[in-house]
Structure 1
Amino acid sequence: MNDRSAQPLAIRDAASILVVNRNAARGPSVLMGQRGKAAAFMPSKYVFPGGAVDPEDGTARLGGALATRTAARLGAEPRSPSEVTPHAIAAAALRELAEETGLLTGSQGLAPEGWHRYGAAGIAPDPSNLIYMFRAITPPRLSRRFDARFLLLDAGHIHGDAEDFSAACDELSHLHWVPIREARELDLPFITEVVLAELGALLRASGGGPLNEPAEVPFFDNRDEVPRFSRIT
């Protein structure tokens, strides 16, 4: 008889979004929240908003398009048998941001079907300001496995009050803007620490000007027992 418990866990496509407030009173800050103690994956850890890509994300009607280079990079190094598209990844990031924090980005227009927070506000979600900055596949033997793409958004593109989390669901608690210089004092997953370091480098490179795409996107590929590190150009 086959031992089902020995079969490798399926890897799900996922998107996380780092919203950065560079005008915060305590210095450049990133939006984070804490997962519940009973969560099956990374309990009690502080993380960025995000989650798995849903099938409906691939056809969600958005109010704009990804930048050409961003879309090309998100489509690089596809993982078989996944057929996820750059559009689906971007839609998942914006949908999860709305669900987990109540924050929206876009302009007046039609919301995708089922995106109730966008629909109530009459906003069409716009991914054109997203910056692709990191990718990581969860190592084997964990309770959940994800192929996570990390996207960056300047808080200046948030529609409305970026301090208002009243419409957030209860998946993340203690939602707040964490000064980047203090974020590592929180209880973080290892990969979150790495992403924060990359974020710091991007902010320094911006010199206070517009945030730009990184020269290369780091990719921690842990789909197999032997990890692989590469850079997506």
Structure 2
Amino acid sequence: MSEAQTTAPSPVPPRPAATVLLLRDGAAGPEIFMVVRHREIEFAAGALVFPGGRVEQADAELATILGSTDPLAAFRVAAIREAFEESGLLLARTEGGTALDPAQGAAFVAAHRDALNAGSRGFAAMLQAEGLRPDIDSLVPFAHWVTPADLSKRFDTHFFLAPAPSGHDAVHDGHEAVDSIWITPAQALAEAEAGERTLLFPTRLNLLRLAGAESLGDAMSRAAARPVVTVQPVMEIDAEGRKMLRIPVEAGYGGPLFPAGIRAMVPQVRKAGTP
């Protein structure tokens, strides 16, 4: 065989991405804002997910303007932008450090969200026009997942926790996300177990980690105290022939091996006519 025939192809470089878990206190404990992805989009079609997406060059540029020395600053900006695009919740403050009240948040959504989602207006320009700064310090690092090396579409995703702005309305965008819900982690997991929801592997495990928190404050405190360990699942076949995903036990998900099910961050492709 020639070298070209025997050499395995190099893994596709993962795209930087950011996801934000927006939390609020509810009667049964902390609730998280989640959206249902459109069934015809390329990635995670039909799945219940947290708001998030790719880190853009403009996110890195805005992070530089903010003067942050945090190596995750661009990811934080991207998470805040994606949260606004997908939920209408804006994690931002005035130049004087004042948080937006619900009326100000609603006015910003009405004035700018459609233009941002249409690509006719940039996030940094919108914030500057309103005298606002993204509240990157409100985000607490929660997890770091990298798509398995053997997949053709890969992401290097940082997950953050953030308190949802109190009293502000959260509404899905109607394009990439066709539905949305405030839901406890336990309820989301139960509905997925019953076949009523589709959860990707990292979504399910991050919900499991959140399920033990008693309140928004408890969830934030736990995340702040736990070091983030990078997770890049590796497929294995166990002694009984089952496909399993191995992740670092130090990541805090309760074990190193999990049934593969829906693999980590894989675009879900449905045949025409299937639900």
TM-score (norm 2): 0.63
Cα distance change of structure 1 residues 140 and 42 upon mapping to structure 2, 3 Å threshold: farther
Between the two proteins, the alignment pairs up a number of residues equal to: 207
Which residue type is aligned with residue 146 of structure 2?
I
Identity of aligned residues (%): 28
- How big is each residue's C-alpha offset from its partner over 1:140-171, in whole Å with a ceiling of 9 and x where there is no partner? 3434211111100012xx2x7432427x3621
CA distance 1:32–1:119, change in 2 (3 Å):
farther
Partner residue, 1:193:
204
Alignment of 1:97-136 (within 5 A): 97-109=83-95, 114-115=122-123, 118=127, 122-136=131-145
Q: CA deviation at 1:198?
A: 1.4
Give the corresponding residue for 2:259: none
Q: Unmatched 5+ residue regions in structure 2?
A: 97-120, 192-196, 237-244, 252-275
Q: In the alignment, residue 33 of structure 1 is paired with which amino acid? A: V
What's the CA shift for 1:230? 6.3
Residues 210 and 64 (structure 1), Cα distance of their counterparts in 2 relative to 1, 3 Å cut: farther
Spell out the pairing of 1:61-72 with structure 2 (5 A cutoff).
71=70
What letter matches 2:42 in structure 1? Answer: A
Measure how far apart 1:26 and its partner are.
5.1
TM-score, L = length of structure 1: 0.73
Aligned position for 2:187: 182
> For the residues of structure 2 that align with 1:19 and 1:142, how far apart are their CA atoms?
29
Aligned residue for 2:141, secondary structure, equals strand
Q: Does the 8 A contact of 1:216 with 1:231 survive in 2?
A: no
Residue 57 of structure 1 contacts residue 88 of structure 1 at CA under 8 Å; is this kept in 2?
yes
Unaligned runs of at least 5 residues, structure 1: 72-84
- Map of 1:32 onto structure 2: 34
C-alpha separation between the residues in 1 aligned to 2:59 and 2:49? 22
RMSD between aligned residues: 3.6
Aligned positions of 1:2-81 closer than 5 A = 8-22=11-25, 24-25=26-27, 27-60=29-62, 71=70
Q: Which amino acid aligns with 1:59?
A: E
Amino acid at match of 1:142: L
Q: 1:35 to 1:207 in 2, by over 3 A?
A: closer
CA displacement at 1:50 relative to structure 2: 0.4
Counterpart code for 1:51: G
Q: Which residue of 2 aligns with 1:163?
A: 169
Aligned partner of 2:102 in structure 1 is none
The SS at the match of 1:42 is: coil
Identify, as 1 or 2, the structure richer in helix: 2
Q: Structure 1 residue 52: deviation in Å?
A: 1.0
* Partner secondary structure for residue 99 of structure 1: helix
